[in-house]
Structure 1
Amino acid sequence: MAQNNEILEGVLSEFEKLAAIPRKSGHEQAVSDFLKKYLTELGFAVTQDEKNNIIADKPACAGFENAPLTILQGHMDMVCVAAEGVTFDPLKDAIKLVRDEKFLRADGTSLGADDGIGVAEAIYIMKNAKDHGPLRMIVTVDEEQGMTGAIHLDAKHLQDAKFLINCDSENYDELTVGSAGSVNLDFSREIKWVKPEMTAAWQIEVKGLLGGHSGERIGDGRGNAIRTLAMTLAALSAEGEVELAAFNGGKARNAIPDDARMTIVTDLDKAAIEKVLNDQLERFNKMYGSVDPNARFELKNVDMPEQVMNAGDMTRLIRLLTILHTGTFAMSTVIPGLVETSANLGVVETTDTEVKVQYFPRSAVDQKLDEFRFMAEEWGALTGFTAHIGTQSPGWKENKDSKLAKIMADTFKKQNGKDMKVETIHAGLECGWHFRKNPQLDMVSIGVTTMDIHSPKERLLLETVKPQVDLIVETLHEIAKM
């Protein structure tokens, strides 16, 4: 393989190609078409399935034809989040990359290293690795929202393989061997609009929260902007007459919301509103301030809206948003320090006709997700919302006899002079679906070191790229000897 700088620049060159193509979850046609064309031009046998998953095969190098087939796997979509005040259209705008000596980040938006850098590494390795057995690269769609690509991937693409290396983890020295399951729970209600009766209109916004990935960061005890704003709306309603014209917050179901905003019409004066906001901020700080210290409210007078929700619809929304617990439910009794079960109140959106809520539980115990599905129906019935139950993604249980995990852990120690951390994580990975389709598949998940994913602060630690590539390449060499 190439020298340090050549590997880094080679991988980043592949990543730049992906960053130039808008690829928000659920909108992957353009990037899928690009991958099909590009990988075909590189000489690989490429399949683009009906969901836009990409499967690319490269034959074994001479002398290694009898080695087992290994899959390199990642996802092409990304969570698109922009910083406060940044104009960004995730369906049209490319990611603007900013690089210094230590990090690669984006200018005002999420970077998309989750999982663009994993895909870029896989392409680089498929192009440049030598002395390996048969290789297959699988790049799925919609991992971030619903794992649609993994769910609908034809099992035939997994059943002839022995090993799978998922390239979607966040620390180069961690070897993931298990992950949590999840289920998408959505709620919706048609809105009955009426003319406002109160005297003044205000916009109230919760800002400055840390946010972050709802799996990796949910155990940190960070605040949730949507829940904070819902509690504030309830507190304002207890002080005077309040009408609600809009309530919006969050950017993705699997990202802890760092901001939320609402427009109200009320007879409360500014001083009374500010007192409630100060009380709610004090309450927030007592609960979350030690880990999420920069929360704030912004209040501004706005033009009177033409319509507001009727009182019943506003009450039902408050009820739902305050019933839905967000954060950690239970810690693992098997693995100390690991979150076992959690849920994230990820998105609330008010449209001209309805209000929609996205709620995202995770658990290492599938039966607890079954309970969430049951509770969603009950919550909907109690609040007058329609519950929409998504497909439940299975958890991925650790294989104690994994040959691949041993090869990778031993190789990492030889290359880096330290042990690799072997762990099960609370975040969801597509490996659960792969395992369901081929229980004999020996899998691990690895990744370069990325920080603050699913946020505008997302960044990639450049010095971890070469060690990651070296680890995969040497692992492929070891597999080829089998």
Structure 2
Amino acid sequence: MKKKLYFIFPLIILIIALISAGVYLYIKKTDDNWQSKLSKKIESYQEVIEDSSSSFESVETANDWLISWAKSKDVSYTKYGKNVLVMARKSSEDYKSEPTTILFCNYDTNNPSGSVNNIALAMAILKSNIDFGELKVIFVGDKDRDFRGIHSIPSEEIGDNSSIFVLASGNKQMYSLMTGGEKAYDISKEISYEDRKKDVAIKISITGAPGGVPDTKISNYPNGVVTIANFLAKMQSDAINFELASFTGGNSSSLYPSSAEAIIVVNKDDVDRITAKLDSLKENFVEKYSDDFEETVLNYEEVSQLPEKVIEKSDSSKLLSLIYTMIDGIYYKDEEGEVVSISSINMVNTGSEKMEIKMNISGLSSAKLGEMEQNISTLAGLSEFSIKNTKTIPIWSKSNVSDFAKDIKEYYKRYTSDELEFVNSVPSQPTSVLSSSFKIPNIIGITSTDNSVTDDGCVIMTYLMGDKKIL
């Protein structure tokens, strides 16, 4: 009898071990399956949204596209005014007691490609077949990152106990409990013209830059406005004579310029000397940017049609000198080398009545923002330009790490096995306007890159499933 027991006990243990292993493998396969499915959904929606990017060039057409998608996927939605669209998914039975989770997606009609990742992420989670609590996705359309559409969201859609993930796209993955303040400026001066005196027109252009929101990698961005202005300002200082016929670039005070173009007129005797300098500029530009910005191109060419009028020399000199002296890049780093504030020149235009510069500053320090504003105002005044503040977004921060933030750290580690470090976002985010407009105890900003958007989606899903799902 004892021999039989000695034989049976190991057999029972072996059977239990095999069953446990089978259950584990089944659970792991199931979990891997939802992650894989979410990744494929995000990728699929990215392609769909990119193919439809022209629909996001106005709030009206964006709403039409989003509503069409919601109808095709049997997703309930409510439209508020012109700018706000709320999609909702009811809670699964086991999650009825859980608070509502909100994914906030702001898109900018001046920068349709900048919202592809966060919209795709939100759609993929909304249509996931995994059980979790009530979920809302709030889409808000704006222009020039002014976040004004937030004021059209009814308070009942936010609620008192909701947890909000503010989704954004960028060049650096960040989970943020502090986001920068921002100010935008319109700097202008009446323009005077005179008859052209020189005889060869040359167009200098930079095209194909990706655009997007100025961030802490600003010093590595190929800013066509600044590159061309600095080149022409250097020619001025070297006493190389030219006439400036026009200078345009960018379309927003708050977004990097994706292109810029200047037309200058020179004496035919100076063409060889100037084109040699342009060749050198082009060579340096390619060396600096070609690896990371393959589609960004600097070109120049002679223009057959000569302009009748050019900008008066005193005005063109003031315009180029002002751009040259203003900071475009990192303004201040702290003692640990972390970027605190940045300044970005994003647009120039020499229209028929005035020449105009648009720029913005962002930062995590009110003092540094004040310093930058004073410097810009002083430089503009010295060049006889007027300055107008067109947008102000305050700094936002959570003074204490909330239980919600601690939960995010836990679920981030549960999914990635890594510790989450919160990173302050120097660029402004909708968190500031949301927090000032509504009573929101639980809010966090997530900036996703092309490489991190799937992981960020999985972290949010892990949070949504909570402890009711074995991971």
TM-score by length of 2: 0.78
1:70 aligns with 2:98: no
Counterparts in 2 of 1:73 and 1:150: CA distance versus 1, 3 Å: same
Corresponding residue for 1:98?
none
**C-alpha contact (below 8 Å) 1:221/1:291 kept by paired residues:** no
Residue 480 of structure 1 and its aligned partner are, at CA, apart by: 8.6
1:48 aligns with 2:79: yes
**C-alpha contact (below 8 Å) 2:415/2:462 kept by paired residues:** no
Residue 198 of structure 1 and its aligned partner are, at CA, apart by: 1.7
**C-alpha contact (below 8 Å) 1:227/1:321 kept by paired residues:** yes
Corresponding residue for 1:100?
none
Corresponding residue for 2:312?
310
The number of residues matched between the two structures is 434
Mean Cα deviation higher: 207-216 or 55-64? 207-216
| Superposed CA RMSD | 3.7
Letter matched to residue 183 of structure 2: V
Corresponding residue for 1:415?
415
Q: Distance in 1 between matches of 2:319 and 2:257?
A: 17
Counterparts in 2 of 1:20 and 1:228: CA distance versus 1, 3 Å: closer
Counterparts in 2 of 1:173 and 1:377: CA distance versus 1, 3 Å: closer
Specify the SS of the correspondent of 2:117.
Answer: helix
Residue 170 of structure 1 and its aligned partner are, at CA, apart by: 4.7
Alignment of 1:396-411 (within 5 A): 396-411=396-411
Letter matched to residue 431 of structure 1: T
Letter matched to residue 51 of structure 2: A
Specify the SS of the correspondent of 1:76.
Answer: strand
Corresponding residue for 2:247?
247
Letter matched to residue 39 of structure 2: L
Residue 331 of structure 1 and its aligned partner are, at CA, apart by: 1.0
Residue 313 of structure 1 and its aligned partner are, at CA, apart by: 2.4
Corresponding residue for 1:10?
41
Q: Distance in 2 between matches of 1:316 and 1:250?
A: 20
Specify the SS of the correspondent of 2:342.
Answer: strand
Specify the SS of the correspondent of 2:397.
Answer: coil
State the Cα deviation string for residues 322-375 of structure 1 (Å, max 9, x = none).
232111111135xx3321111011121233443332201101123443454455
Letter matched to residue 325 of structure 2: I
Higher helix share: 2
Specify the SS of the correspondent of 2:436.
Answer: helix
Residue 432 of structure 1 and its aligned partner are, at CA, apart by: 1.6
Specify the SS of the correspondent of 2:177.
Answer: strand
Counterparts in 2 of 1:293 and 1:60: CA distance versus 1, 3 Å: closer
Corresponding residue for 1:354?
354
Specify the SS of the correspondent of 2:243.
Answer: strand
Q: Unaligned 5+ residue runs, structure 2?
A: 1-30
Specify the SS of the correspondent of 1:425.
Answer: coil
Alignment of 1:396-475 (within 5 A): 396-438=396-438, 440-446=440-446, 448-450=448-450, 461=451, 466-475=454-463
Specify the SS of the correspondent of 2:330.
Answer: strand
Residue 206 of structure 1 and its aligned partner are, at CA, apart by: 5.4
Q: Distance in 2 between matches of 1:117 and 1:231?
A: 34
Q: Unaligned 5+ residue runs, structure 1?
A: 81-89, 91-111, 451-460
Corresponding residue for 2:24?
none
Q: Distance in 2 between matches of 1:11 and 1:168?
A: 15
**C-alpha contact (below 8 Å) 1:145/1:252 kept by paired residues:** no
**C-alpha contact (below 8 Å) 2:57/2:109 kept by paired residues:** no
Residue 444 of structure 1 and its aligned partner are, at CA, apart by: 1.8
Q: Distance in 2 between matches of 1:380 and 1:448?
A: 36
Q: Distance in 2 between matches of 1:217 and 1:24?
A: 29
Corresponding residue for 1:301?
302
**C-alpha contact (below 8 Å) 1:247/1:262 kept by paired residues:** yes
Mean Cα deviation higher: 147-156 or 65-74? 147-156
**C-alpha contact (below 8 Å) 1:59/1:133 kept by paired residues:** yes
State the Cα deviation string for residues 22-66 of structure 1 (Å, max 9, x = none).
458762211112223433565555332334221223332224333
Corresponding residue for 1:33?
64
Corresponding residue for 2:271?
270
